[in-house]
Structure 1
Amino acid sequence: MSNKDTVKSKINEAEDFARKVWLAGLGAYGKSVEEAQGRYDKLSAEASKMFDELVTKGETLEDDARSKFQSTTNDVENRVADVRKKLGLDVDHSDQKIEELSAKVDALTEAVAKLAANK
């Protein structure tokens, strides 16, 4: 082989090696893009799943809170009804009770006035 052929051979080897380095870099870039896309897809699916789970949990908590609020409201209403009943202020008879109490107050006022007049 001549000196010229040896130089051409070395240049061809260098070009092949440079091309292989370029292709390896390009392959590494392609692989990293594929991995990044795979991770993005996985994270996106997990985020969507997590969101759906959070919505479901929120609905459960909302239902529990609504149920407890309704239960508490019913308890308060029942207690108020019991107190009204014990005081004789049932809704059905409240006007009649007020009239009776008013009549008793009037009678007591009259009795006190008579006692005060006799002294």
Structure 2
Amino acid sequence: MTTTDTIKGKINEAEDMARKIWLAGLGAYGKSVEEAQGRYEKLSEEASKMFDELVTKGETLEDDARSKFKSTTNDVENRVSDVRKKLGLDAEPADQRIDELSAKIDALTEAVAKLAANK
């Protein structure tokens, strides 16, 4: 083998080694892209799942809040109704009954004032 053949062989070996280094770098890049895509897909699935779970939890909380609000509203309405009955405001129009009660209070106030003046 001649010196030229030896040099050409070394050059070919160097070119082959450079090509392999290039391919290894390209392979590393490809592998990192695949891993990144896999992680992105996994995160995307997890985010979607998490969102669905949060929506379900929100619906449950909303239903509970509506139920409690309705219960509280019914309790308040019942209490108001009881107070109206005790005041006699449910038998006849409320404005008329309030006017009558105001007149009675005014009459009682006058009577108390007269009694206080006579002492």
The answer to whether residue 50 in structure 2 is matched with residue 50 in structure 1 is yes
2:69 corresponding residue in structure 1: 69
Residue correspondences, number? 118
Identity of aligned residues (%): 84
Please name the residue that 2:78 is paired with.
78
Unmatched segments (≥5 aa) in structure 2: none
Indicate the residue corresponding to 1:8 in structure 2: 8
Q: 1:21 to 1:104 in 2, by over 3 A?
A: closer
- For 1:79 and 1:87, how far apart are their aligned partners in 2? 12
Q: Note the alpha carbon deviations across 1:46-92, whole angstroms, 9 max, x for none.
A: 11111111111111111111111111111111111111111111155
What TM-score comes out, normalization by structure 2 length? Answer: 0.79
5 Å-filtered alignment, 1:1-119, equals 1-92=1-92, 94=94, 97=97, 101=101
CA distance in 2, matches of 1:47, 1:96: 63
Change (3 A) 1:36 1:108: closer
Query: Structure 2 CA distance, aligned partners of 1:28 and 1:91?
Result: 88
CA distance in 1, matches of 2:80, 2:39: 60
What amino acid maps onto 2:5 in structure 1? Answer: D
Structure 1 moving runs of 4+ over 2 Å: 91-109
**Scaled by the length of structure 1, what TM-score is found?**
0.79
Where 1:37 maps in the other structure, the secondary structure is helix
Q: Distance in 1 between matches of 2:36 and 2:104?
A: 89
- Alpha carbon RMSD of aligned pairs, Å? 2.8
User: What is the CA–CA distance in structure 1 between the aligned matches of 2:105 and 2:20, rounded to whole Å?
Assistant: 111
State the distance in 2 between where 1:100 and 1:38 align: 81
**Compared with structure 1, are the counterparts of its residues 29 and 98 closer, same or farther at alpha carbon in structure 2 (3 Å cutoff)?**
closer
